[in-house]
Structure 1
Amino acid sequence: MYIGQTLRNRYKIIKILGSGGFGDTYLAQDIDLPNHPLCVVKRLKRSPDPNILDTCKRLFDREAQVLYRLGNECEQIPKLFAHFEENGEFYLVQEFVDGENLSKEIYPGKQWSESEVVQLLEEILEVFTVIHGKDIIHRDIKPENLMRRHKDGKIVVIDFGAVKEIGTLLINTQGQTIPSVAIGTRIGTSGYMPNEQEAGQPKLCSDIYAIGILAIYALTGVNPRELAKDPRTGEVIWRNQANVSDKMADVITKMVRYHFNDRYHSALDAMDAITSLKPKPPSNKTSTSRREILKTLGWLGTGVGLTVVGGKLLQGNSEPGIESPLNSISSRSESEIKSPETSKNLSLQTFTFETVTVDPKGTITNRRQLDAQYFVEDLGNGITLEMVQIPPGTFTMGSPSKEAERSSNEGPQRQVTVRGFYIGKYTITQAQYEAIMGNNPARFKGAKRPVENVSWDDAVAFCRKLSQKTGRSYRLPSEAEWEYACRAGTTTPFYFGETITTDLVNYDGNHTYGSAPKGVYRKETSEVGKFPPNAFGLYDMHGNVWEWCQDDWYADYKGAPTDGSARLSGNNNQNKLVRGGSWYFSPAYCRSSFRNSNTRDGRYIYNGFRVVL
């Protein structure tokens, strides 16, 4: 293949990126699409033995299906755009990842701190929970196959080992070759391969071994090929070369144990162990008493058209999947209440809105006219902030085990009681952010678009300045408050019902949830309030931008508070919660229960926030 060649009248070769014993990798342009985006073409060399061509085809097709599936389900795995065979050679066309591999960060002589390695392991294992969840083994984890993507700093996993099965068949034509050889082929990199993988019998925990070796490399600065092993037991000798806590050492040692039965069995198990290294906050199991709820109702005002019994909202005319739909909040157009946060009175007004419910195919089956109360905060120069009143109540937080595409970190489900509060009708817009902070960091400009490209620290700074300006204590929502506000009484995956469509939410419409059809992929944010709200009158809780929450990241809800408060470790945790999905992600990420995290100082073009009083 030569520079300038065009495959299938579509993929124009620009330059060679690398060459190996079984094939070459090229940078190419997709000239069939606007702006000719970059892509990667992998060519597997032609076999000199025609007898193994059928076997190669079967392996090639199987691998392509695996890559299609993974790339569509995880944005940290390159998408596979095409695969085809021409003249006995096989081609894969994949998404181009603009970034650098971890060999630029992990190399001989450089030693990382324990906290840095914990963070790295969390990033890597998060991706591998998806991969291992599909019973797929990578088999070649090393710094060169882990990319740090420039646009968001996330780890992207590349170069899956099964592709090399085909390459091994193509070059291994000396002697007899049979299909079974391909399945047990020794694939991997010396130093990162455990004994069972070297014997051609890899398992999920073989990947865990490689990830553990990578962690040892980062901690010690010693190349894995130079790590000593106990001649009697085969165990890696590394502890005396790293300055880490005993707990950290125990976890990594278990990751790299000689016998696979002694290791963590999958990425999810290893992730739980890594997460356990972080200090846990004291468990707060105190639920809100009826006395406290009634006291809360006192400051919410007499205009609230709801009944609270035992902490639960009661309202008639319920629909399937709705615990406590808010059919009416007030018949009064305005009321005066006194906030517990300040001596200033809040002038509540009422607004009317329409909510919709969809069936599993995304067809709207019901429309309802509802009311909600809110107050307006004047930010100056004609810029205002609308804060919607959310009543107190108890809800089931997390997702049921049978919810499609759920993650284990969405459980265990539990009852959480939330006190009343106010939350932004919309995510903070660029106009609002600029009115308070004096700058606009957003990539997708527009006064009514949500501000993005803001870190958790930026969002907290905004709340602090807003509080100083208004005399009221604004903050980010706790994770529990966010999910309670998002669900608005529903128990379905989305507040619209069992699925969503791009007519209702801004997400990547190339992907679907349930039986809904594909839709548009806008590739950018949209103005706030463009899509229908939920039953509390809140807009864009699904999609558009991820929303920062107060909480530190924890891998599940074990030990989490049940009073609606934020879960904080108290040690300046670097990983913070984001909720709601965004324009860039698939609909499964937009579910009411879906949880994700980013580093607190990370600025991403799909992260924004809304505020709570």
Structure 2
Amino acid sequence: MSQCLNPDCLYENPQGTSFCQRCGNKIILDDRYLPIKFIGEGGFGRTFQAVDVKRLNTPCVIKQFLPQQAGSASLPKATELFQQEAQRLQELGKHPQIPDLLAFFSQDSRLYLIQEFIDGQNLLEELKTQGKFNESQIKIILTELLPILQFIHDNKVIHRDIKPENILRCKNGNLFLIDFGVSKETSSSIVTKIGTITGTPGYAPPEQFRGMVYPSSDLYSLAVTCVRLLTGHFQNADGSDPLFDTINMEWTWQKYLSLSQELTYVLETMLQDIPKKRYHSAQEVLAALNNPKIQKSVVIPPPQPSNSHKSFTEDLGNGVLLEMIAIPGGTFLMGSSKNEPKRYDSESPQHRITIQPFYMGKFTVTQAQWERVAKSPQVKDKLQPNPSSFSGKNRPVECVSWLDAQEFCARISKSTGKKYRLPSEAEWEYACRAGTTTPFYFGDNITTDLVNYDGNYPYNSGAKGKYRQQTTDVGIFPPNAFGLYDMHGNVWEWCEDDWQENYINAPTEASASINRSGSGNILRGGSWNNGARHCRSASRDSYARVNRSNYVGFRVVVSSST
């Protein structure tokens, strides 16, 4: 079908129609953009799904400027805001999670904006489909959105309308921030005064209705979005709000749910009425979310993943336990984007991978676990009970080869009846990212307070830190959103795959790539002996499967079907 753009018509014409059969209005825009479906309308106009006929019918979105208050004194301001949205998209569309601007023009005395089409659903639609979000899901949302907000604020733009409808999850699971129709460019100072009060009641912070906005104003709206997704409560038609006490002027969302101290502290800080009492940047929120030292000694309990299968603990005997975390299935983009700083060509091209649920070791295999299994009956090869250079029962075992790790898996599989194995490279990166798309699951950077690496070599102009020159006990640094520890740094981790130079012709499923054409196998995660660059989620290296080193260890996985 071809959708008529005449505001008084909107007739659905047969496919390929150039002029509306009802009103005669020209349908195709700029001789290339053909509207095919009416999506919706807001204060500034209407939105249509469309195709670009000059680019093999590539999907796109048409935004038609059609303000509800056309003819009033507010029309010049509305026109200015629509033009500003086009400018913002042109500036910010460089970010892979912000829709790109394809065109901006006037036709038949109306303004049109053409955007990249993102196939998916917004978080409000997702809430209606799946029900209330849990804590793990909210932490993943925060971890993915905060770097986007930091990018926006670094470009001196404030969104001013963060809400579930403006957060879109595409088919591969990545989140996009959309609708910059009321975004505002800041001056060189942090605060900016605006002439028109904008934003959505029930989400906008108090200062926004006084004509002032800060970067922390977006953080406030993001926190409101999170509590509404957690509780499922929104403003009523009469303006009353079950989550806000208008008498005492305070949020009451905590009475509807129970969260960890960690997330409660973060959301409460983001929701402070006075902007100076909030976090000052998205990066601060991300750090506080992952680092207990920043949260005034608030204890961080391990996040619980949202899964239909449950984590379990394997008793290896003599009081030695192996904790296995349930990792949910999903899809993700494997590898690094072309704009990720200090990336390697071996991390390209990015490709979509589908992951089935599985279990993964909460920690890398420790020396206590290794010693216990090494003393069990041999399957194929002998194992040295105490191979590590750095002694400590809770430190990761190291100086173990890929073949040693295979023997460990064979022995534990035989004794438990479950099929233990090394993770595939795709499983490892998926589990490490835990829903994030940034270089690290902590965000755009790391510090030696978060990860054990050589602090003399920070990432992307970051500050220098400690160089411990040895491994540390597992679990002393914050986990990712799946509850996995030390996926960055401490020791490199063996994967099942044989080394491939890049991802050209890579499979789209999570199984390991086995060719046995060489002697190298995949290592992931970086180590205490590497700079931060090597600790990124996408970083990969190879090592001869017979080699042993004091910076190489491993963790195990089990398929959910076993």
Q: Please give the TM-score of this superposition, normalised by the length of structure 1.
A: 0.48
1:10 aligns with 2:32: yes
In 1, Cα distance between the equivalents of 2:262 and 2:493? 42
Residue 106 of structure 1: SS of its match in structure 2?
helix
Of the three residues 140, 159, 170, the one matched with 2:179 is: 159
Residue in 2 that maps onto 1:555: none
Cα deviation per residue 1:474-514 (whole Å; 9 max; x = unaligned)? Answer: 55333348976988xxxxxxxxxxxxxxxxxxxxxxxxxxx
Residue in 2 that maps onto 1:276: 291
1:102 aligns with 2:123: yes
In 2, Cα distance between the equivalents of 1:343 and 1:258? 55
Of the three residues 451, 459, 464, the one matched with 1:399 is: 459
Distance 1:236 1:44, change over 3 A: same
Deviation of residue 88 (structure 1)?
3.9
Of the three residues 248, 251, 261, the one matched with 2:266 is: 251
- Whether the aligned pair in 2 keeps the contact of 1:187 and 1:198 (CA below 8 Å) is yes
Letter in structure 1 aligned against 2:208? Q
Deviation of residue 65 (structure 1)?
2.3
Cα deviation per residue 1:118-157 (whole Å; 9 max; x = unaligned)? Answer: 122112212212112222111111111111110x201011
- Whether the aligned pair in 2 keeps the contact of 1:234 and 1:258 (CA below 8 Å) is no
1:132 aligns with 2:153: yes
Distance 1:475 1:48, change over 3 A: closer
Letter in structure 1 aligned against 2:267? I
Residue in 2 that maps onto 1:453: 508
Deviation of residue 57 (structure 1)?
5.8
1:121 aligns with 2:121: no
Residue in 2 that maps onto 1:184: 195
1:356-435 matches, within 5 Å, as: 396-399=456-459, 401=461, 411-412=463-464, 428-429=499-500
1:198 aligns with 2:209: yes
Distance 1:112 1:228, change over 3 A: closer
1:89 aligns with 2:110: yes
Seq. identity, %: 29
Letter in structure 2 aligned against 1:203? Y
- Whether the aligned pair in 1 keeps the contact of 2:159 and 2:183 (CA below 8 Å) is no
Query: How many residues end up aligned between the 2 structures?
Result: 349
Deviation of residue 400 (structure 1)?
5.2
Deviation of residue 86 (structure 1)?
3.3
Residue in 2 that maps onto 1:63: 85
- Whether the aligned pair in 2 keeps the contact of 1:43 and 1:92 (CA below 8 Å) is yes
Cα deviation per residue 1:527-572 (whole Å; 9 max; x = unaligned)? Answer: xxxxxxxxxxxxxx99xx945689xxxxxxxxxxxx9678x9x999
Deviation of residue 232 (structure 1)?
5.5
Deviation of residue 164 (structure 1)?
11
Letter in structure 2 aligned against 1:37? T
Deviation of residue 44 (structure 1)?
0.6
Alignment gaps of 5+ in structure 1: 166-181, 281-320, 322-338, 345-392, 402-409, 433-441, 443-448, 488-540, 551-562, 573-599, 602-613
Deviation of residue 453 (structure 1)?
3.3
In 2, Cα distance between the equivalents of 1:423 and 1:240? 45
In 2, Cα distance between the equivalents of 1:126 and 1:189? 22
Residue 29 of structure 1: SS of its match in structure 2?
strand
1:40 aligns with 2:51: no
In 1, Cα distance between the equivalents of 2:105 and 2:40? 20
- Whether the aligned pair in 2 keeps the contact of 1:108 and 1:222 (CA below 8 Å) is no
1:257-272 matches, within 5 Å, as: 257-272=272-287
Of the three residues 217, 225, 228, the one matched with 2:228 is: 217
- RMSD over aligned Cα, in angstroms? 4.9
- Whether the aligned pair in 2 keeps the contact of 1:13 and 1:29 (CA below 8 Å) is yes
Cα deviation per residue 1:363-396 (whole Å; 9 max; x = unaligned)? Answer: xxxxxxxxxxxxxxxxxxxxxxxxxxxxxx9894
Q: Please give the TM-score of this superposition, normalised by the length of structure 2.
A: 0.51
Residue in 2 that maps onto 1:27: 49
Deviation of residue 227 (structure 1)?
2.9
- Whether the aligned pair in 1 keeps the contact of 2:525 and 2:539 (CA below 8 Å) is no
Alignment gaps of 5+ in structure 2: 7-11, 18-26, 186-192, 293-299, 303-341, 343-397, 404-452, 472-490, 543-549
Deviation of residue 111 (structure 1)?
3.5
Residue in 2 that maps onto 1:241: 256
1:275-354 matches, within 5 Å, as: 275-276=290-291, 341=400
